Chain A
């Protein structure tokens, strides 16, 4: 390309090199360094005066560093009299924070957009924005490329392909499924393109979001003896026993039952048909959970119980847990336990309704010291290993974790219960408000437990005997995918489940969880987001589709002043 310079940030060099190769260009020389205080500095190694500058930088696991790096590169190019600066961000960082989540949320996506503009970018090229409305956050032109044509073609060539007697399912044997209502549109688009049918999974988790569940919680707190507000209490609430069965003896169990007491009080206050209906629904769920009886963990003291639920490798129902089966040595004392728990729970995502996704990431930052300790302590349990890798993205630890999981696979459980428990607990920790907003603490745990007990997963549509493509725009913590996959395979008779996503983030132990989940057969993502080599080679299920041709073609067309829209429904090659 004449009069153009292509610079690559450090987030995703492999992709940048591929893009450069497609363009027949070389990456321009650039020196990115860090001062000792970790400030980034960029030094463009060639003249960019009156040149078109393209800066490639994807979001990554060290988002803030790489974002800063991109901004500094843009600024450097601007000061060096570049004619036009285009930022190419295949995965746009902070794109999940594109709206105010109900109350007092920040729209950080807009902030990033403003920062890029202020730094001096003239144009942005990105791909599969979480919400296409984000293009409106900018005052400069944005090209939101689509990976869908590329993914669709790959699926058509490698999954659907039929009529050649190879046993491939063809369009009739495939169904595209959304794991939540928010993804319905994306799913129908791909289904229409592939000529397949589609379905939708709906998880009814209303009780905890109902307005009146909050008020009694606060009431309950003020009636708590102060000693019950500590981490021990928290750990106990995690296991949710008090709600599941009223037979609990420990004084620790009292507050949650008070919680239900106030719930009853409330029913009389809010005596609308709806309140009655929901009370009825809760009672139903409660009696159901009572029938289910004790979980094996009930027999354990609180701290161990917490560890029990943390561990994804749960003993099967027929074998009551031997204390030896748990890694008791690694079970921390109660105060540490609280920290560790919140860490662990981050593994699950709960973005069913987009509302609480980012809390988990926040928790990771808060808890970093704990994890470093775990790394140094050569973790032997999956829990510790996963905790370590969650925060530090230490793929070595993860590989070890996967190995240890595979060893213990004999013990591995019907994931059903595991996933229910982990997701049940997620809500509890998703809360920075847990820490910043103590009044809600124990009761929140209570509601969330009930919530997941009460949660109904419903499949709308038919997947029987079909290969399911479970589609979303990105996959990070996979628990909602895994829960959905399990439901599809176990209850709905799906033949196989492939997870399909544009951006594969796979933070922490995500890849390990997918690897051991028997209900997921493949994970298909693009290479828009950097995934460490250790992870890709450790996973037998991961397929990465190369989207560098789309990016390269978009850059080329941009540079030559040609239309980009061609790329929206066709492949560049």
Chain B
């Protein structure tokens, strides 16, 4: 892998992040044109040679998720037929990651389907971040590097949460307890758990707090925030139990539907998300939003993959 060079191809899902990554790598985004036929089919033209190159296709799972997925598959396939040496799919936010098991009878495992589609299209390697369940790595037959936002989150807390030593890390549901305890351990902080009894999807009923948050800065930690109903209610539960203020830190801020309204009206002091999903517009409507930039982590992973260096360093360290 010495003679060939990096080619970064960016999809339309998150141009800002792609540019940041390319800038960090000291390279330009490759020239790609994506058009749509009148019947809404996606068409891709790769504007420069990728023959025998090390190609990275960046596309996040957000917005028009199916269009973006299709776009990525077509780009991968185009590179494959154009004799790229190796194609790596970079998915900062893995689409369909929440459909990773048969949680109900006859539920599809769509994450597996996406994994198969990527492989079939021609991806040789996948780089992603904070998979909803790390077992998704096993859905692929090709190598998957699952990066962690955790080091960046830790750094954010240390640098931006005033009085973080008096904080308590709270998981808004039982499934996220492990993630929260890991962060609590690293910061040497206490940990609490909120159990919600969910009746319907995206609708929360009763919340029970386990642990003591009195007079502490509560930091809610989760991997994904969608409608933010959970976060809003969790914040309220925490304030009712005597927390002095409530932060929320999420890796993937989908923030769909009424999320911004919910955040604005909630008792949350700040909602921090990483830029795996674009939210520049949303920030204007919601002053409580704050960003952790993870482009450095992704760029570094790409650089290390290209140079054949170990990626595991990034699991414990934030790329600066």
Using CB atoms, name the residue of chain B closest to A108: B138
Task: From B174-182, B252-260, B267-275, give the one contacting chain A.
Answer: B174-182
Measured between C-beta atoms, what is the minimum distance from A502 to chain B in Å? 17
For chain B residues 289-320, which have a beta carbon within 8 Å of chain A?
310, 312, 315-317
- Known A-B contacts A272-B158, A565-B105; A200 and B186 likewise in contact (beta carbons under 8 Å): no
Q: Complex formed: what's the CA distance from A206 to B189 in Å?
A: 11
- Known A-B contacts A132-B102, A185-B175; A103 and B138 likewise in contact (beta carbons under 8 Å): no
CB pair A133 B100 closer than 8 Å: yes
Q: Is B53 an interface residue (CB 8 A)?
A: no
Q: Complex formed: what's the CA distance from A100 to B180 in Å?
A: 19
Taking a contact as CB atoms closer than 8 A, the residue among A136, A199, A202, A281 that contacts B135 in the complex is A136
Using CB atoms, name the residue of chain A closest to B136: A133
- Known A-B contacts A100-B146, A458-B190; A131 and B106 likewise in contact (beta carbons under 8 Å): no
A-contact bits for B155-199, CB 8 A (1 contact / 0 none): 000100000010000010111011011101111101111010100
Using CB atoms, name the residue of chain A closest to B195: A188
Across-interface contacts of B136 in A (CB, < 8 A): 133, 136
Measured between C-beta atoms, what is the minimum distance from A204 to chain B in Å? 5
Using CB atoms, name the residue of chain A closest to B111: A136
Q: Is A144 an interface residue (CB 8 A)?
A: yes
- Known A-B contacts A99-B135, A460-B192, A460-B210; A277 and B315 likewise in contact (beta carbons under 8 Å): no
Q: Complex formed: what's the CA distance from A211 to B158 in Å?
A: 16
For chain B residues 52-111, which have a beta carbon within 8 Å of chain A?
100-106, 109, 111
B-contact bits for A186-214, CB 8 A (1 contact / 0 none): 01100010000011101011100111000
CB pair B103 A132 closer than 8 Å: yes
Q: Complex formed: what's the CA distance from A187 to B125 in Å?
A: 36
> Which of B135, B171, B180, B210 has the most A CB atoms < 10 Å from its CB?
B135
CB pair A210 B175 closer than 8 Å: no
Across-interface contacts of A281 in B (CB, < 8 A): 188
Q: Complex formed: what's the CA distance from A562 to B100 in Å?
A: 24
CB pair A204 B185 closer than 8 Å: yes
Taking a contact as CB atoms closer than 8 A, the residue among B103, B193, B197 that contacts A184 in the complex is B193
Q: Is B287 an interface residue (CB 8 A)?
A: no
Across-interface contacts of B312 in A (CB, < 8 A): 102-104
CB pair A565 B174 closer than 8 Å: no
CB pair B191 A460 closer than 8 Å: yes
The number of chain A residues touching the other chain, given as a range, is 35 or more
For chain B residues 192-227, which have a beta carbon within 8 Å of chain A?
192-193, 195, 197, 210-211
Q: Complex formed: what's the CA distance from A137 to B105 in Å?
A: 17
Using CB atoms, name the residue of chain A closest to B134: A99
Across-interface contacts of A204 in B (CB, < 8 A): 181, 184-185, 188
Across-interface contacts of B146 in A (CB, < 8 A): 100
Across-interface contacts of B154 in A (CB, < 8 A): 274
Q: Complex formed: what's the CA distance from A135 to B104 in Å?
A: 13
Q: Complex formed: what's the CA distance from A460 to B109 in Å?
A: 34
CB pair A565 B106 closer than 8 Å: yes
A-contact bits for B130-154, CB 8 A (1 contact / 0 none): 0001111111000010100000001
Q: Complex formed: what's the CA distance from A118 to B275 in Å?
A: 41
CB pair B133 A131 closer than 8 Å: yes
CB pair B100 A192 closer than 8 Å: no
> Which of A98, A184, A205, A564 has the most B CB atoms < 10 Å from its CB?
A184
Q: Is A265 an interface residue (CB 8 A)?
A: no
Across-interface contacts of B192 in A (CB, < 8 A): 460
Using CB atoms, name the residue of chain A closest to B100: A133
Across-interface contacts of A198 in B (CB, < 8 A): 195, 210
Across-interface contacts of A144 in B (CB, < 8 A): 102
Measured between C-beta atoms, what is the minimum distance from B124 to chain A in Å? 17
Q: Complex formed: what's the CA distance from A564 to B180 in Å?
A: 35
Q: Complex formed: what's the CA distance from A564 to B102 in Å?
A: 13
Across-interface contacts of B144 in A (CB, < 8 A): 100
For chain A residues 250-277, which have a beta carbon within 8 Å of chain B?
272-274, 277
Using CB atoms, name the residue of chain A closest to B196: A188
Q: Is A320 an interface residue (CB 8 A)?
A: no
Measured between C-beta atoms, what is the minimum distance from A184 to chain B in Å? 4
CB pair B186 A210 closer than 8 Å: yes
Across-interface contacts of A110 in B (CB, < 8 A): 138
What are some 10 contacts across the A-B interface (CB < 8 A)? A99-B133, A102-B315, A181-B181, A182-B177, A184-B193, A188-B174, A192-B197, A200-B177, A278-B188, A460-B191
- Contacts A131-B135, A182-B177, A460-B193 aside, 19 further interface pairs with beta carbons under 8 A come to A102-B312, A104-B312, A133-B136, A134-B135, A135-B102, A136-B115, A137-B135, A144-B102, A178-B177, A180-B178, A182-B178, A184-B174, A187-B174, A188-B174, A188-B195, A204-B188, A460-B192, A563-B105, A565-B104
Which 6 pairs across A and B sit closest by C-beta, in order of nearness? A565-B105, A206-B185, A133-B135, A211-B316, A103-B312, A181-B177
A residues near B (Cβ < 8 Å) are: 98-100, 102-104, 107, 109-110, 113, 131-137, 142, 144, 178, 180-182, 184-185, 187-188, 192, 198-200, 202, 204-206, 209-211, 272-274, 277-278, 281, 353, 458, 460-461, 563-565, 568
